[in-house]
């Protein structure tokens, strides 16, 4: 699995949308975290997804967390469970009148079959310390009842808990215009890698 880490969540957003204003620059600082159980504030947290096509075009949007919790023991992230509400997938880069069509397609059986599988789950099994306030996390991602191992970086910053990961949609039977399942797609090919940039606010 490719490991592609987005440096800043909103840097990814702005690179995809030339009509958006550049946000004020901030300096992220990673900080230590105390041993504790951390509960995620769903309404304050955000997940940004980005998908890319061979033609170099891309789409991005957000998706909501239904719940989330993780634990730090002896300075390491030792466990965690996050439930994602797949029914909340939305698009942010298209004009508003064109968004419903793409959102409906993403929720259909061509992609995430949201009616049959309204939730996705990310679990954390263990982690390794990279540096102060930064961990390499290992866990499992479940989408459409398919579960596969995943690794990603997670950081405790002054802007919130940041996690940036990439998953291969083909492993979860998301087949639409995938080179894994279809040949000779040309510039219609959509890459299998879906990027998620996550910013968690915790209690």
The answer to whether position 5 is within a domain reads: no
Q: How far, in Å, CA of 198 to CA of 152, rounded? A: 11
Question: Where in the sequence is the domain holding 98, given as residue range(s)?
Answer: 34-200
Does residue 133 lie in a domain region?
yes
In a domain, 22, yes or no: no
Q: Is residue 108 part of a domain?
A: yes
82 lies in some domain: yes
Could you tell me if residue 2 is inside a domain? Answer: no
93 pLDDT above the threshold of 70: yes
- Tokens found for residue 124: 């954390």
132: domain CATH number?
A: 2.40.128.110
Per-residue pLDDT band for 55 (boundaries 50, 70, 90) equals: confident
Report pTM.
0.85
Residue 140 and residue 172 in contact, taking contact as beta carbons nearer than 8 Å: no
Query: In the chain, how many domains are there?
Result: 1
């Amino acid at each position: 699995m490719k490991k592609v880490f987005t440096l800043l969540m909103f840097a990814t957003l702005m690179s995809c949308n030339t009509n958006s204003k550049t946000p004020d620059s901030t300096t992220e600082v990673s900080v230590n975290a105390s041993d504790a159980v951390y509960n995620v504030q769903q309404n304050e947290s955000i997940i940004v997804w980005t998908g890319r096509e061979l033609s170099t075009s891309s789409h991005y949007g957000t998706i909501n967390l239904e719940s989330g919790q993780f634990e730090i023991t002896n300075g390491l992230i030792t466990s965690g469970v996050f439930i994602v509400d797949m029914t909340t997938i939305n698009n942010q880069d298209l004009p508003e009148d064109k968004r419903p069509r793409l959102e409906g397609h993403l929720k259909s059986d061509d992609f995430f079959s949201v009616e049959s599988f309204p939730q996705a789950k990310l679990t954390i099994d263990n982690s390794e310390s990279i540096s102060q306030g930064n961990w390499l996390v290992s866990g499992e991602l479940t989408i459409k009842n398919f579960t596969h191992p995943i690794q990603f970086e997670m950081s405790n910053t002054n802007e919130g808990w940041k996690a940036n990961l990439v998953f291969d949609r083909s492993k979860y039977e998301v087949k639409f215009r995938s080179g894994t399942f279809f040949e000779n797609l040309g510039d219609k090919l959509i890459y299998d890698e879906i990027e998620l940039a996550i910013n968690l606010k915790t209690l």
